[in-house]
Structure 1
Amino acid sequence: MAPDRFTRFAAIDWSGAKGARHPGIALAVCNAGDAAPVLVAPPGRLWSRSAILAWLQAQRDEPLLVGFDFSFAPPFVERGAYLPGEDTPATARAFWGYVDAHSADVDLGAASFLEQRRGTHFYLGAADGAKAGFLHFRRCEARYNANGGGKPSTVYDAIGAAQVAKASFAGMRLLHHLGTAVPVWPFDPVPHAGAVVVEIYTTIAARAAGLRKGLSKLRDAAALDSALATMGSRPHVPLARYSDHATDALLTAAWLRVNAGRAALWQPEPLTPTIAGTEGWTFGVT
């Protein structure tokens, strides 16, 4: 990977919420250099998932690295299937299509996919039994935990503020509709030109900025500028409102700019062809 392969960087704080417009979605973009990332305004009052898809499709020929903060696939290696006992595909791209075909929710939502499988594959409350029986993880999540990153979330747990389940399955629908318009690493080879999508974990950017566990959210201008400075970024343009979604996207876009040229992040030692084709990997986990 040439250090200057990408000259634009985008981070998207994602949402799996029901409905068609989502305050939990934020899109931040920066160019090569040291100018602070900026938020991209939605076409309406709030972003929809479909509008993010359209924005991404329009960037396909740009030298743009795009990070989404959801899990691109469920665990596969641990149990040899995404949803054991259910006749599902055995590769991520095919599984994205399966999720899309079995989700009737508006705006690429996937809450119904989880609700129809609660208690068998997904934990949505105490009526589903012991949560421990649903805690299955991808190899990148196990690696992150083993390296001291902390206990990760699983896409099978749909309860609590930290859950990533609904967002991840909604994201899989987006990836299915994106098709091959923009390559998705590591499921696809990284081309010599054009945009590329990767999975990110905004907490990795927060840790790199020196924010401690449990205190990784930036909620004011001074804290955001201090974190951006650790990434070699100039101060940001003041925001009308400092939400976790906006500040996570801004800081992670700056982190992507700093780290996009690191070969070790594109070739993590544990990433095998089987993992790459089924579970994928979080950019930044080594």
Structure 2
Amino acid sequence: MPPAHFTRFAAIDWSGAKGARHPGIALAVCEAGDHAPTLIEPPHKIWSRGEILRWLRARANEPLLVGFDFSFAPPHVLRGSYLPGEATPDTARAFWAYLDARTPDADLGAASFLEARRGTHFYLGAVDGTKADFLHFRRCEAHANAAGFGKPSTVYDAIGAAQVAKASFAGMRLLHHLGHDVPVWPFDAAPKSGACVVEIYTTIAARAAGLRKGLSKLRDADTLDAALTELGSQPHAPLARYTDHATDAILTAAWLRANAVRAELWHPPALTPHIARTEGWTFGIS
């Protein structure tokens, strides 16, 4: 049975940018029911990754389901290692610790970890070789592609506007520092009480809201409200500024609320215990 105790739902649009504060981070929260999600204002005008960590820890005992928009682990299944040729651990939690111990970047950043391994494990430009040689994927990404959610990204490609590498490795550092304060599905079992963290993919929410491939970014109030209506939500409170980060967080929080009780999303047939320990899974891919 899926967990049935959640009454609050949060979606976080994440950032792996260098520095201490990040305009690319947005946090939206909604309650059970149909009121539209609202943006949570950061303590100091712009969120830091550390502030998101503290916000989450403070709500560990709440019936809160939190979705983060980054990959929780690198691929492992197909090649038998996260970084072939480097003596890395073989489970996600141990890899998060390995990463964190070797990454001194400010505010849980991870750019230096990637830059130190460019051309070996990470693609940061043409000097690193042929980009296709770095395109390795997790099992859930193959399923997402087969389900029509678009071409997957890989955490080994760290160049371009669509890259997810820097955000994902920064996110893995956050998960390491979160420890066991909040369960992280599917590395941990879904809890019967308290908060839980899952990996989300905002494109899944966009497709469920009726947005066509290539047109999933919302930049005005009317389009956002139309998408929210498709997810059973009332219209949102007007925003001072419409950014992809804000609208992605709002729409995905509404999607998370609408889909949290679907048993097949908590128990996808292709999610084996080995995958759950090593790579994890994106909530919403069944």
**Common topology (TM > 0.5):** yes
Correspondence 1:222 to 2:210: no
- Measured in 1, the distance between the counterparts of 2:145 and 2:179 equals 31
Over 3 Å counting, the alpha-carbon distance change for 1:184 and 1:3 in structure 2 is closer
Code of the aligned partner of 1:163: Q
Give the Cα–Cα distance (whole angstroms) in 2 for the partners of residues 198 and 55 of structure 1: 16
Provide structure 1 residue ranges, at least 5 long, that are not aligned to the other structure: none
Alignment of 1:17-36 (within 5 A): 17-36=17-36
Query: Pairwise CA RMSD of aligned residues?
Result: 0.7
Q: Any residues of structure 2 matched to 1:20-59 within 5 Å, and which?
A: 20-59=20-59
The 3-state SS of whatever aligns with 2:108 is coil
CA displacement 1:223-252 (0-9 Å, x = unmatched) = 000000011111100000000000000000
TM-score w.r.t. structure 2 length?
Answer: 0.99
Amino acid in the other structure paired with 1:285? I
Whole-Å separation in 1 of the counterparts to 2:160 and 2:206 = 21
Q: 1:137 corresponds to which residue?
A: 137
- For 2:248 and 2:150, the matched residues in 1 are separated by 18
Q: Where in structure 1 do 4 or more consecutive aligned residues deviate above 2 Å?
A: 1-4
TM-score norm. by structure 1 comes to 0.99
What secondary structure sits across from 1:10 in the alignment?
A: strand
Does the CA-based 8 Å contact 2:3-2:191 persist in structure 1? Answer: no
Deviation at 1:148, TM superposition (A): 2.0
Q: Deviations over 1:65-117 (max 9, x none)?
A: 00000000000001000000000000000000011011110000000000000
* Residue 3 of structure 1, CA deviation: 6.5
Q: After TM superposition, list the pairs within 5 Å mapping 1:275-286 onto structure 2.
A: 275-286=275-286
Deviations 1:129-179 (A, max 9, x none): 000000000000011112222210000000111100000000000000000
Separation (CA, whole Å) in 1 of partners of 2:57 and 2:87: 31
Across the two proteins, how many residue pairs are aligned to each other?
286
Instruction: Tell me what 2:97 maps to.
Output: 97
Q: Does 1:208 align with 2:208?
A: yes
Percent identical across equivalent pairs? Answer: 78
**Separation in 1, partners of 2:144, 2:39:** 29
- Tell me what 1:166 maps to: 166
The alignment status of 1:248 with 2:248, answered yes or no, reads yes
Consecutive unaligned residues of structure 2, counting only runs of 5 or more, are none
Q: Measured at CA, do residues 3 and 98 of structure 1 come closer, stay the same or move farther in structure 2, by a change above 3 Å?
A: closer
